[in-house]
Amino acid sequence: MSPDPGPEQHRRPLWAAAFVTILITPVLYIAFEMVIAAVEHGRWGPAPGTGEIHLALLSIAIVFCSGIAFAIGLPLIVALRRAGRLQGGWICGAGVLSGLIGMCALMLLFGTLPDLEVLAFGALMGLAAGAVFALVAGVQWRR
């Protein structure tokens, strides 16, 4: 059995990276939605009359997907650390997997099957969360 590689794989505590990721990822989502709305409607923000519904769905999605991401992503991060593979690319891959599973679970909760656009969005948000986590934790991107 090899010894635990320990904190030399990251410069800052993993709990701090997880905390910041929880705060930053919803902000990235809102920024993404604003850009999409600007492209589709020619103005910043949700379509007229949909702000309250959008905010409610956003809140549900953030809470649900954050829980799924932690249930899947955090054990993957711990396993990567234990295996000595805590690198940015591996963390982003774990984020993509967490985002895909989280979005699938959310869509199934609403009684619909996820389509390719929804899966791509889940993967993109997971990738963003993984990148934020890796940057905050201060991991190497390659060895």
Query: Do 112 and 95 meet the contact criterion of CB atoms below 8 Å apart?
Result: no
- The 10s digit of each residue's pLDDT in 38-60 is 787 776 655 555 555 666 666 66
Q: Is 85 exposed, middle or buried (0-12, 13-18, 19+ CB in 10 A)?
A: middle
- The 10s digit of each residue's pLDDT in 1-11 is 444 455 577 77
Query: Do 130 and 92 meet the contact criterion of CB atoms below 8 Å apart?
Result: yes
**108 compared with 53, residue with greater pLDDT:** 108
